[in-house]
Structure 1
Amino acid sequence: MNENAFWQLIEACTPSVPDAEGDELAAALTVHLANGPMPDVVGFAEQLSWALYQLDRREYGDGLSGDQFLYTRAAVVAAGREEYESVLLDPQRFKPYADGLIWAEALLYVPDDAYRQLTGDDWDRGTRYSYESYSNTAGWTPSDAGRLPRSPSR
């Protein structure tokens, strides 16, 4: 799954009614991915971790707890590509997500849940980029702030 397919899937599964916690989006994504093929589950996991990794920077997370920062970054991803890219360009757009405690924790479990539904097994696999808070060391180094690595699909 490339970056465009990832964002198209997010858009296609976004509920028409606001979903403050991201639960409905996560459920719809899981259903879609659980219908296979397996490479879509793996690709979704890679793109999700990449998107979260890009937001793992000091200008977004300074002063936030690890969990608050992770779940808030997930909410930015759940808001869709246009909002996500706007936040990347203007860190001030992240502030309402963090201040309003808008979270989308359920988005993080989509690949695992889809894999479990497809195979009946737990997924014991990592991704190229860690989405855990503060794992993007370049994003937390003052001299490298704002410099991002290339997308895995580019």
Structure 2
Amino acid sequence: MMTWADFWALIGTLNGRADETGCRRLAEELGSRPVSDIQGFAERLAEALYRLDQEKFGLLPVVDLTTPDGGPFPQSGDVFLYTRCAVVAAGQSVWESVFFDVAKFAPFTASECDGESLLYVPDQAYELATGQEWQRQTRYCFESYSNRDGWPHLRA
């Protein structure tokens, strides 16, 4: 099983950004490892994203956009997911800090902080390692609004 320390060390290879080049490099590194490491990375990534799936982060507006009437521009579900990816890509210390200071999450809502590429790293690594497409599931769902404890008003 991949430890959190191993996960964060791999994330550290991104140098704080989930751009395509860095994510491709990470996928290649991960793809050279055993499939169990790829699965472990996918599990840790899903959990890290799930833990960030909270109302206090998801209701923050996009920092560099406004509505036509000048009001705050809300994050969509996809933008919120990609923002959470950007926070994870920034590294362990940033990821941990946002839980204690919501304001540290806000800059990652900027449109240039798109971390979407990080989502595909486990799938790309698996394909590199096995030559097959991965139909994966993880213990934690990383889709926006799936953490019911993080979104108390959404509980059924």
The TM-score, its normalising length taken from structure 1, stands at 0.84
Indicate whether 1:116 and 2:113 are aligned.
Answer: no
Indicate whether 1:23 and 2:43 are aligned.
Answer: no
Counterpart of 1:90? 101
Counterpart of 1:3? 4
- What amino acid does structure 1 have at the position aligned with 2:11? I
**Whole-angstrom distance in 2 between the partners of 1:101 and 1:86:** 21
Work out which of the residue numbers 58, 72, 80 in structure 2 matches 1:69.
80
Counterpart of 1:152? none
1:23 deviates by 1.7
**Whole-angstrom distance in 2 between the partners of 1:30 and 1:124:** 16
**Whole-angstrom distance in 2 between the partners of 1:117 and 1:28:** 12
Indicate whether 1:49 and 2:46 are aligned.
Answer: yes
- Number of corresponding residues: 139
1:25 deviates by 2.3
Gaps of 5+ in 2: 60-73
Indicate whether 1:128 and 2:139 are aligned.
Answer: yes
Aligned residues with identical type, % of pairs: 45
The TM-score, its normalising length taken from structure 2, stands at 0.83
Gaps of 5+ in 1: 145-154
Aligned 8 A contact 1:72 1:101 in 2: no
1:36 deviates by 1.7
- Helix, strand or coil at the partner of 2:37: helix
Counterpart of 2:151? 140
**Whole-angstrom distance in 2 between the partners of 1:3 and 1:42:** 13
**Whole-angstrom distance in 1 between the partners of 2:123 and 2:50:** 18
**Whole-angstrom distance in 2 between the partners of 1:121 and 1:28:** 19
1:100 deviates by 4.6
1:10 deviates by 1.1
Aligned 8 A contact 1:87 1:93 in 2: yes
Aligned 8 A contact 1:25 1:78 in 2: no
